Amino acid sequence: MRLTRRYRFAASHRLHAPSLSEEANRELYGKCNNPYGHGHDFILEVRVRGAADEETGLVIGQQELDALVRRTVLDDFHMKDLNAQVEAFRHVVPTSENVAREARRRLCGAWRETFGAGGPALDAVRILETGKNEFEA
């Protein structure tokens, strides 16, 4: 059984690799290299897999999942300048690929502590940046 839960967060970022020249950054990232950054209304999808509990019929308690996602990802990402306010992106370009990777890293770190070794598994983490761009980690 799989369950996918969606969460929205708004954040800004600037795509700029310090190792590249200004010209190379503009060419690579285009308008996303705006010196003042730009924002997105991101959608974070968290997919969980496991057997439905015999007693409750649930793969996972949704309130418990919501609390974990809020605590480990949303509280740090929502309404933030990812480059300046999220430590993980101080030296890593906050592309949506890297945002998905960081969200998964954070969730994996807290998953076993919250749900235990025999509980549901974190199956996938996806970031939907625009109507055309989706990234899965």
Residues 6 or more apart whose Cβ sits within 8 Å of residue 116: none
**CATH at 117:** 3.30.479.10
Question: What are the distances in angstroms from CA 50 to CA 106, 124, 128?
Answer: 20, 13, 24
What confidence score (pLDDT) does residue 29 get? 98
With tokens 């055309």, the residue in question is: 132
Tally the residues of the chain.
137
Which of these ranges, 69-78, 89-98, 113-122, has the smallest mean pLDDT?
113-122
Domain carrying residue 72:
2-136
Instruction: With cut-offs at 50, 70 and 90, classify the pLDDT of residue 135.
Output: very high
What confidence score (pLDDT) does residue 118 get? 80
Please give the Cα distance from 78 to 40 (Å, whole number).
10
Run of H or E residues at 39 = strand 38-49
Question: What are the distances in angstroms from CA 116 to CA 6, 109, 130?
Answer: 22, 12, 34
Question: Domain tally for the chain?
Answer: 1
What mean pLDDT do residues 21-49 have? 97
116 or 83, which is more confident: 83
pLDDT in tens, 119-129: 899 999 999 99
Please give the Cα distance from 136 to 99 (Å, whole number).
10
What confidence score (pLDDT) does residue 119 get? 86
| High-pLDDT (> 70) share of the chain, % | 100
What confidence score (pLDDT) does residue 112 get? 86
Residues 6 or more apart whose Cβ sits within 8 Å of residue 23: none
What confidence score (pLDDT) does residue 95 get? 98
pLDDT in tens, 39-84: 999 999 999 999 999 999 999 999 999 999 999 999 999 999 999 9
pLDDT value at 117 more than 90: no
Torsion of CA 13, 82, 90, 106, to 10 degrees: -130
What confidence score (pLDDT) does residue 125 get? 98
* Long-range contacts of 17-20, Cβ-Cβ distance < 8 Å, separation of 24 or more: 17/93
